Amino acid sequence: MNGIRQHQYLKEIGITVWLERKLAGKETTGFNVKSVSKENRLLETELDKNLDYLSSQVQTCNFCELHKFRTKAVFGIGNKNADWLVIGEAPGVEEDLKGEPFVGRAGKLLNAMLLSMGLQRKEVFITNILKCRPPKNRDPKLDEVEACGNYLRQQIELIKPKVILALGRIAAQNLLKSTTPIGKMRGNSYLYPGSDLPVVVTYHPAYLLRSPTEKRKVWEDLKFAQNIFRGLI
């Protein structure tokens, strides 16, 4: 994607961009700067089989009480060999009906955020901490996060992303086992516990729809994540 198109996407999400001096004149979009070795990843057919099996387990899971309220469990969607794993909180009403994460207005905003980094939705893998919708979109309970955590851990092990983008407080705090407010977590890189996989924290698109003035902070976070992916940080 060229710089003009990137700026169009940024305009869509409400951000005016000034290039950093050190990056001006260089390619600042996309993630093709760093070639990533995938030799340790599973063979595609084996990966498909394992993820499909995991997804089928999620569809019939009754490990926590949320199974009673769901229309469809939401396993996740996207590129099974993705370098980027995007993790949100839990399905909302539209996601529950469709069985797909991040649809509706928040999903459109997430797509625009990804495009601003030169990524299409189908290039990344998108999932949530919880695979079933909590009633009335309440916050997940600890026992639900623990019950569902094994699915997320297996997704991470199978997909082997290069960077995790954690969207919102619930995703960030549960992934990193932290109680720090999200505003203080932003701007730092973390490691997914027990690994050398970087995690970058930013606001959830649903929050941005309610607080559009925070979009610039998200753009800063996305640039930060790009630089981590490129090995510049």
Which of 172, 131, 166 is closest to 148 using CA atoms?
131
Cβ(74)–Cβ(137) below 8 Å: no
Task: List residues near ligand SF4 by CB under 6 A.
Answer: 58, 61-64, 66-67, 73, 130-132, 144, 147-148
CB of 81 to ligand SF4, least distance (A): 23
Please state, in angstroms and rounded to a whole number, the distance separating the CA atoms of residues 139 and 91: 11
Please state, in angstroms and rounded to a whole number, the distance separating the CA atoms of residues 193 and 46: 26
CB of 101 to ligand SF4, least distance (A): 13
Cβ(81)–Cβ(44) below 8 Å: yes
Considering the complex, state which of residue 131 and residue 169 has its C-beta at the smaller distance from ligand SF4: 131
CB of 85 to ligand SF4, least distance (A): 17
CB of 156 to ligand SF4, least distance (A): 15
Cβ(130)–Cβ(91) below 8 Å: yes
Quick one: CA dihedral 183, 83, 227, 118, positive or negative?
Answer: negative
Indicate the helix (H) or strand (E) that contains 143: helix 142-159
Cβ(101)–Cβ(126) below 8 Å: yes
CB of 70 to ligand SF4, least distance (A): 7
